[in-house]
Amino acid sequence: MANYVGIRLSRLIKERAYTAGRCTQLNSKLSELKKEAAQCSKDLKRSEARVVELDRMIATASTIDPADIKSIRSTPRQSDGKHGSFRKELIRCSRKQVGQ
């Protein structure tokens, strides 16, 4: 098939088409992130209000300064396999090393 627009122009048209497609992808991703950011902001406000409430409860129940309490970030459990499968594999490998 003959290329009537020329190689250089053809490459520019192809690059423009891919770039326009990327813009569409990024716009949809941006709208999703805005929704997620709005939800995150709501969750943050609720959490901060709960911290203030808990600080007040701690202050009435004891003389502990709530500012001295270190924050802990929860880590979700990874459920890649059955419970204990990593430990079993680790024990199996260590027994194999000892047996060599």
Q: Which of 69-73, 78-82, 88-92 has the lowest mean pLDDT?
A: 78-82
Residue type, 80: D
DSSP code, position 67: G
Residue type, 22: R
Q: Which of 32-41, 52-61, 82-91 has the lowest mean pLDDT?
A: 82-91
pTM: 0.56
Return the beta strands (E) in 1-100 as ranges: none
- Alpha carbon 54 to its chain centroid, in Å, reads 27
Q: Residue 3 — very low, low, confident or very high, per pLDDT cuts 50/70/90?
A: low
